[in-house]
Structure 1
Amino acid sequence: MRIWIFKLVVCFSLFSCNSNDNEIDNIKSIDNNKPFEYSFTKYQFNHELTKTTIPYHLFEPEQSINTDEKFPLIVALHGSEFFASKEEDFLFSEKFGYYALAWIKESNQKKYPAYVLAPHIHENLWKENLYDTWGALNSIDFIDKLTDYIISNKNIDIDRIYLTGHSMGGAGTWIIGAKLKDKFAALVPLSSALTTGNNLFKELKEKVDKGIFKDLPVWSFIHKKDADNGDRSHSGHGCRVLFEIFKNKNYKPVITHGFREEVTNLSKEEIEQKISKCYIHFYTEYNYADCTGICHYSMTRALKEPLLFKWLFQQKK
């Protein structure tokens, strides 16, 4: 296992966080005979910067109960499907919510126990024009402070904090990962909505050009049809541009299933060999034919890849 060592910057927040009194705590029931439930518990976070209360959902692994052992933390950012949606509608759909729900599946948690944090930028926050994307400065500060709060109050292994997200959340994974690179041990952007013409992407590209991701592990997933749509607002074309820079800088990214017109289809054994040799940059461009409508939900395929889990949970700062 390769250990990536960075100077750790953890700033403990003075912000407050209170559980919603109307929510049932699905994790630590006073009834010891109640079976453990693989579900999220909803809380509220008071973001000092904007004087705003923001809901988030937290999953605590069964193994973390009554122990001082430290566990990884996965921070999962939603896509536009939940952006500006009603607060009560969050994670209602397995298709839209799989970016977060997949991590708390019983089979995955039994093998890779981890905390999972899923914040929600709901419609009222959007209407107030406080958090318009995950790449906005307010949003980045929110994720920074919320993560610090969770670190200070739960049994978190601060060397294994991972950032992931779908679509708008995939773009946020790149942008926030670049801004807070010392906080995260690895990034998993899914169907990243990186539009190459806006200022956020230009700033991100400059950081990539300067080598900010040289030692930060990234495994990016997208469907070829989604990546081909470079002129669309939800396009993932930008992740190709970033991995092109990785290639030009000789980071030796592992292209598992094609890149642009390249024909690549690594076997499970070949990918596993790259993982065992501690490669840290992976790019998967699916081309499966069974998309229904838009091929924008590669997360439903990506988060069933056992080698992704094996790769991710061996990454440390």
Structure 2
Amino acid sequence: MKSDVFQKTITKVIDVNLSYLLKLPAGYEKGTGEVPLVLFLHGAGERGTDPKLVKKIGLPEVVDKGDFPFILLAPQCPISTAGRANWIMELDGVSALLKEVIETHRVDLKRIYLTGMSMGAYGAFELASRMPDLFAALAPICGGGCPEKADRLKEIPTWIFHGERDDVIPIRESLDMVNAIKTAGGNVMFTSYPEAGHDSWTAAYNDPEFFSWLLKQSK
């Protein structure tokens, strides 16, 4: 049986209001063991206060159609009055929300994974650089990051994806991170899709090998 929980939370740590989607794996309610958790950061088009928007695209869309053995946590980035909201501005709230979910659910602390697409990929790179000891794997899709912070990512197994015909975020943004992580001595893989534009997340998140790789990673 699928289990979906849509709710808003005001975090006790920094008093930030974030809408989010939390999806529990089949059998979670009757189980007793710890399970992995995947934190997903969406792109710019899903910002707002209705987490159902987050469910329409990317990893939540894929997970909603099947049974996956992990908790999916997908916060929603709000839209500021100036329209400039992005994940970098909201990472304190995301961190507090993640902490709250970890404390209230049976999360395997050795198997917490981070992924994001487009704007969410930038957020994922940044959050991983701030909390490198927490995440067992990182999977940014069609985004970019700060090569200067690659040294903080070198201990996190990373798989980066990008479409070669992306005219929104150039593939160079991902390649710069791949090269920087390699130079830092990190463990990074890169997959490019020759025919894909900005939407490289559909191919990545629908690839069974992606989930096989992800769930094998452990701290």
Matched with 1:42 is 6
1:283 aligned to 2:185?
no
Give CA deviations for 1:61-85 in whole Å, capped at 9, x if unaligned: 11212221110001111101112x4
Matched with 2:19 is 55
1:73 aligned to 2:37?
yes
Q: How does 1:98-117 map to 2 (within 5 A)?
A: 98-106=58-66, 108-109=67-68, 113-117=69-73
CA distance in 1, matches of 2:204, 2:59: 9
Cα displacement (A) at 1:120 = 0.8
Matched with 1:299 is 201
Counterpart among 78, 83, 86 of residue 133 in structure 1: 86
Cα displacement (A) at 1:183 = 1.4
Query: So what's the TM-score if we normalise by structure 1?
Result: 0.63
Equivalent position SS for 1:64: coil
1:308 aligned to 2:214?
no
Contact 2:19 2:51 in 1 (8 A): no
Contact 2:124 2:140 in 1 (8 A): yes
Which 4+ runs in 1 deviate beyond 4 A?
Answer: none
Contact 1:186 1:216 in 2 (8 A): yes
Amino acid in the other structure paired with 1:65: E
Counterpart among 72, 75, 81 of residue 119 in structure 1: 75
Contact 1:46 1:53 in 2 (8 A): yes
Matched with 1:148 is 99
Give CA deviations for 1:196-243 in whole Å, capped at 9, x if unaligned: xxxxx5xx32221xx2222111101110122xx5xx5x4442211111
Cα displacement (A) at 1:88 = 6.4
1:91 aligned to 2:54?
yes
Contact 2:35 2:70 in 1 (8 A): yes
Structure 1: tracts of 5 or more residues without a match: 1-35, 195-200, 252-279
Contact 2:39 2:74 in 1 (8 A): yes
Matched with 1:214 is 154
Query: So what's the TM-score if we normalise by structure 2?
Result: 0.89
Equivalent position SS for 1:81: helix
CA distance in 2, matches of 1:88, 1:147: 16
Equivalent position SS for 2:54: coil
CA distance in 2, matches of 1:102, 1:89: 14
CA RMSD between the two structures: 2.3
Contact 1:42 1:57 in 2 (8 A): yes
Contact 1:186 1:218 in 2 (8 A): yes
Matched with 1:244 is 179
Q: Which has the higher strand share?
A: 2
Report % sequence identity. 25
CA distance in 1, matches of 2:70, 2:141: 19
Cα displacement (A) at 1:168 = 0.2
CA distance in 1, matches of 2:119, 2:183: 26
Matched with 1:269 is none
Counterpart among 109, 119, 130 of residue 158 in structure 1: 109
Q: How many residues align?
A: 219
Query: Relative to 1, partners in 2 of residues 1:48 and 1:236: Cα closer, same or farther, differing over 3 Å?
Result: farther
Amino acid in the other structure paired with 2:161: F
